[in-house]
Amino acid sequence: MSQPPQPLSIPPLGSLTEDQIRGATCVHCGTPLAGVPAVDLGERRTRRGGRLVRWFPRACLRDAGT
């Protein structure tokens, strides 16, 4: 029986650039994702400075393992 795919690990929010946080660049390597296939890693919600922050990481196909 096959195992379900493991979710990709995502670097901590504090280590990412604004472009990585909003999904414009790969959350792992920083490659620009405009106009290229990418993997949406889903909306994330994190407490930062006492408030809820919503962010939208994406990964390039290489880093997503596809």
Cα(14)–Cα(64) distance, integer angstroms: 21
Q: Is 60 helix (H, G, I), strand (E, B) or coil?
A: strand
Cα(66)–Cα(52) distance, integer angstroms: 31
pTM of the entire predicted model: 0.80
Cα(54)–Cα(63) distance, integer angstroms: 22
| Pairwise pLDDT comparison (55 vs 48), residue with the higher score | 55
The β-bridge relationship of strands 44-48 and 38-40 is unpaired
pLDDT, one tens digit per residue, over 15-41 is 999 999 999 999 999 999 999 899 999
pLDDT attached to residue 7:
56
Instruction: Please check the confidence at residue 56 and state whether its pLDDT lies above 80.
Output: yes
Domain boundaries, given as residue ranges, for the chain: 15-64
